[in-house]
């Protein structure tokens, strides 16, 4: 009987998933060393960057369907974007370094944002779209927003209330086990995408040194209100769908009771 692909691979070969993650870690080490040296950042920034990447890699290994398979082109683009997000998150470990290099931080965040559409294009171009890739991209977006929310707080431009922007989705996900009707697919929405772009744009602008505390509070207050309104619309839609589904189920049950 002919051997399969898995049998043809040497037993001591490193699984492709690990190769992707190790390559990403090596590239991140180079980027972190360059970043910290170029902007004279303390060593703890580099250690924090590595810690964030290890946490990301652990989550990827846990949720990847088959570790014998490589990530693929689209997910590799998302992984590269994750390296940039890890650099951003690591910088937050040193508020002084963040204050001194707020503009490069904003530029790096902009690069991570611009890459957000590339992985989707690659997935469509090479017909490699997957549920895992969509989830990977979505979770990375949420983490990037959380990082960008913490940055202006550490810069002293705004109070901790702005963290609600980054926490809102995590609260929504945490509520799903309690209210199962929240864990339903939502239709595509231009409004949802526009709000996401607007809040990230506001967060990026507020990182710039020329934007003062008053302007930061106004911009991020607008972003928070827009995001809260968007979540309210989606939750209302899910609730109405649940009520409609329950009503139809009851009607069907009553109809079956008649001879």
Give the residue extent of every domain in the chain: 13-153, 157-249
Q: What is the pLDDT of residues 208-251, one digit of tens each?
A: 989 999 999 999 999 999 999 999 999 999 998 887 665 555 55
pLDDT of 3 over the 50 cut: no
Entry pTM: 0.83
DSSP code per residue over 88-148: HHHHTT-HHHHHHTHHHHHHHHHHHHHTHHHHHHHHHHTT---HHHHHHHHHHHHHHHHHH
Q: What is the pLDDT of residues 195-209, one digit of tens each?
A: 888 888 899 999 998
CA distance to 64, 114, 143, 192, per residue, from 120 (Å):
18, 12, 18, 17
Confidence tier at 257 by pLDDT (50, 70, 90): low
Residue 46: count other Cβ atoms within 10 Å of its Cβ: 20
- Structure letter (DSSP) for residue 71: -
The residue-averaged pLDDT of 109-138 equals 83
């Amino acid at each position: 009987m002919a051997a399969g692909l898995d049998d043809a691979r040497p037993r001591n070969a490193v699984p492709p998933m690990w190769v992707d993650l190790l390559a990403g870690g090596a590239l991140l080490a180079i980027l972190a060393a360059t970043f910290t040296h170029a902007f004279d950042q303390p060593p703890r920034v580099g250690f924090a960057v590595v810690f964030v990447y290890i946490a990301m890699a652990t989550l990827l290994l846990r949720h990847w369907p088959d570790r014998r398979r490589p990530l693929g082109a689209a997910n590799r683009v998302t992984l590269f974007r994750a390296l940039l997000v890890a650099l951003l998150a690591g910088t937050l470990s040193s508020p002084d370094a963040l204050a001194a290099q707020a503009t490069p931080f904003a530029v790096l965040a902009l690069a991570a944002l611009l890459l957000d559409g590339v992985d989707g294009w690659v997935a469509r171009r090479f017909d490699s779209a997957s549920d895992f890739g969509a989830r990977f991209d979505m979770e990375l977006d949420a983490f990037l927003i959380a990082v960008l929310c913490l940055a202006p707080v550490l810069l002293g431009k705004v109070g901790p209330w702005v963290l609600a922007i980054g926490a809102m989705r995590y609260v929504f996900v945490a509520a799903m086990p309690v209210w199962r009707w929240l864990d339903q697919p939502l239709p595509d929405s231009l409004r949802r995408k526009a709000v996401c772009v607007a809040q990230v744009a506001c967060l990026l602008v507020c990182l710039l040194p020329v934007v003062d505390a008053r302007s930061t509070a106004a911009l991020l207050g607008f972003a928070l209100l827009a995001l809260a309104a968007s979540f309210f619309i989606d939750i209302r839609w899910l609730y109405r769908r649940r009520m409609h589904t329950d009503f139809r189920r009851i009607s069907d049950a009553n109809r079956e009771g008649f001879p």
